Chains A and B, each alone.
Chain A
């Protein structure tokens, strides 16, 4: 079965601290992986995506993610969190091309302490 698991429902970090949000997937074909961010009352914004090649991908707002096929993981990281990073983060997996049905994880809510 195709699924995405984000084990952490809620994470709180201090401003300036490093961050890692976990994402594990189960997908029958070659996975194309995405991280989206949803700020309160807003739509979803794409942070970064992985299709192939270098397993460490860089995204917007200083985020990066590493694809580890052996662990079926695609964890999101940021070396120094800013208060404006407080939001809901969604990991998603899909076929990439064609009719791109995305399967989302349940999301991780990030709170940032000053």
Chain B
């Protein structure tokens, strides 16, 4: 009965590789997000999708490409991985209508680029 799930939980890869992280929510929410948490635990939003449409893009490098096949899924594909991409990536979701909507977070994906 996991609300927001991410796969994989850990990802270790070499510089230059391409990798994807998947996110799914079963809360019936219409908006999903990707956040990056750096080594100092600082959390910053990367993208937001509403009903499969990109709403927020926080000047993230073009190597990062989110894809939302439907409202319940938001995947993150990263091309040509760099050392600085090492971080924990969190997916979140919320309901847009009605206001006052908190975000629910997934367990995170720890990406390590060697």
Contacts and interface: CB of A to CB of B under 8 A. Distances in A.
Given A97-B96, A100-B31, A106 B40 contact: yes
B66 to A, nearest CB: 14
**Size class of the A contact interface (CB-based, 8 Å):** 20 to 34
B106 A43 contact: yes
B99 A99 contact: no
Contacts of A100: 31, 94, 96, 101-103
A42 B37 CA distance: 12
Contacts of A44: 43, 90, 92, 105
**Size class of the B contact interface (CB-based, 8 Å):** 20 to 34
A101 interface: yes
B113 interface: no
Contacts of B68: none
A97 B104 CA distance: 14
B16 to A, nearest CB: 28
A25 interface: no
B50 interface: yes
B12 interface: no
A102 interface: yes
Interface of A: 32, 34, 36, 38, 42-46, 49, 51, 88, 90, 96-102, 104, 106-107, 109
Which 8 residue pairs spanning A and B have beta carbons closest together? A97-B99, A44-B105, A43-B107, A104-B43, A51-B100, A43-B105, A107-B41, A99-B55
